[in-house]
Amino acid sequence: MRSRYKLTQDDLAKKLNVSRQTIISLEKEKYNPSILLAYQISQIFSLSIEEVFQFDPKGEEG
């Protein structure tokens, strides 16, 4: 999504006030964002949270 909008990882991190490492972890699916961060990301791209992130309950531990 980020590359479609021609944003670098650093650009997106600055818009969200997070580290570039956070963006890297999100893109590699090593980190699940908080609901607030997911919302902020969806707003940047003018999409719903569901359009940006896919939820897989089978992938959740617990």
| pLDDT per residue as tens digits for the range 9-45 | 999 999 999 999 999 999 998 988 999 999 999 999 9
Give me Rg for the CA atoms of the chain. Answer: 12
Q: Residue 58: inside a domain, yes or no?
A: no
Q: Give the count of domains, the chain.
A: 1
H-assigned helices in the chain: 9-16, 20-27, 35-44, 49-52
Q: 12: buried, middle or exposed (CB in 10 Å: 19+, 13-18, 0-12)?
A: buried
Asked whether residue 26 is assigned to any structural domain, the reply reads yes
- Residue 4 in any domain: the answer is no
Cβ atoms 49, 42 nearer than 8 A: yes
Q: What is the mean pLDDT of residues 48-54?
A: 88
pTM: 0.80
CATH code of 13's domain? 1.10.260.40
